[in-house]
Chains A and B, each alone.
Chain A
Amino acid sequence: MNSVQYILGIESTAHTFGCGIASSEGRILSNIKSEYVPTSGGIHPREASQHHASKAAATISGALEEAGLRLSDIAAVAFSAGPGLGPCLRTGATVARTLSLVRKCPLVPVNHCIAHIEIGRLATGEDDPLVVYVSGGNTIISAYAGGKYRVFGETLDIALGNCLDTFARHLGLSHPGVPKLEQLADEGRRFIPLPYVVKGQDVSYSGLLTMASRLAGECDRSDLSLSLLEVAYGMVAEVAERAIAHTEKSALLLTGGVARSKRLQRALSFVCSDHSARFHVVPPDLAGDNGGMIAWTGYLALKEGLTVPVESSYVNPNWRLDEVEVPWRR
């Protein structure tokens, strides 16, 4: 009974198809991903799902090989069931169902946002942090209370990463745009006023994106990048500060793809030192979407018996973080 279990996790909510393997001891044995990069513009859901379908087999065998395991060693298959883009989610779910049927092992649906939180908790060892989860698709301030992750703040329109990526494309920067935006910002000198929109504990980025894009032809690119990042990150830092004051948590965890931003890390560590809270960032290789976080969260859910029969293993593109029971935190 005490032998080690291996869980295979499939991630496919947006541009990344990932497969990772986690052990019941909390080790990520492998974490392979393949990213869909649009030839122009933003993510196209159907093209992304076609990319995922074409890369699935190689990604999964790569993850098994790197972990030194065979499919028969896998105790359960976990998959991202939402939130995300419908066509992408369905591709990942189809792959996961197939593996579960072939292997005759349990199938575990995982909420993508919760996986970003759980992998951060695992990697940093911080048990009960206030979570700042920022990525291309989500901007959420959350903390655990009474059986669920509660949402204390979120975006009212587009996500932080979406705002930054879209603006980077507008400047003609190639993918990935955010690091290049940050480099430009380091050379910026003059601050250009841009819409700073905080409502309660929520933020709004659409006005900021529109205004910055409009000014792109008239202003210095470095100044504009500096101003956009300062405003965008300042808003997150402010709502994080409000949430940490309100929840009185003693630690903050920064997770999600945008967690790699040094400038954002700096802003949030400022907030933490003002409130005597510990500051943690998810390691860079676990920041973006990945299968390892799905595998690990799948293990936590499997322990609680949260499996689903293949015939009712639906995806939910609008699955809110705060709808999910997390009995492993009780």
Chain B
Amino acid sequence: MDLFLHLWVMIFIYTIFAMSLNLEMGYTGLFNFGHVAFFGIGAYVSALLTLHQVPFEFALVAALLAAGLLGFLLSIPSLRLRGDTFGIATLGFGEIIRMVFQNEVWLTKGPMGLPGIPKPVLFSYRFATLPQYLLLTLGFSVLTFLVLRIIIRSPLGRAFKAVREDEVAAVALGKNIFHFRIKSFVIGSVLAGLAGTLWGHYTTFISPGDFTLLETILVLLIVVLGGKGTELGPLVGAVVLIFFQESLRFLRLPAEWSRYLAPLQQMIFGSLLIFLMIYRPEGLLREKGAGR
């Protein structure tokens, strides 16, 4: 039963993470390959603050602001780039943030990581047990879903899609594409920070090794598998992939296998990404009205 609840907590956290990437990649066409950086910032900021006895409410707000601010700063130089150039710039950025976690030992304890992150307390209600935490993550993912739904169906969301589909036409209609890209990127970063915060307080231990390219690939795969630019795609992708990933962990395979199992699992992720792109680039759910 606990395993089941754990699975759903992870699924909801990754759904939020994937929804944030879906806004950037699926709706606005920004190839963010360093999305894990914002997840990491959210986790670290909130963990550090709560470990210093700051109430969770403030820590959460600070984490979201930090992720958003970082997203804003990064977006200024890199959003001028063409798609692939932007992709590689964000990839490098993700690595740099990890280097910061690793090297600023005075703050983050470096590779040792931060243990004992307290469970969140929201309005003097403590989310300590698994069912309670499930409720918290469910609540936040529903909230994220509704916020994104409102954004996507608003004129702002339509402008995002216009930027994705045809930059020239968007410019011709008097849209400042640069502003729309920044908005999308900042909202995406804030939501990734939210997912990271929830994740950090759930596992109660974070270290730089948790925020590698693997996380980016996993969330990218969730978005692509579920269907880019669809409202429910991130949830569908998260259910399938988190189930696959976490169930392997609970199969209780012999310890000496783990040296082979981890790379093997990641090879499966990589090849799944390639196969999807070649044979079913639209994913499981197809975006309404999408060409091709």
Chain A bound to chain B? no
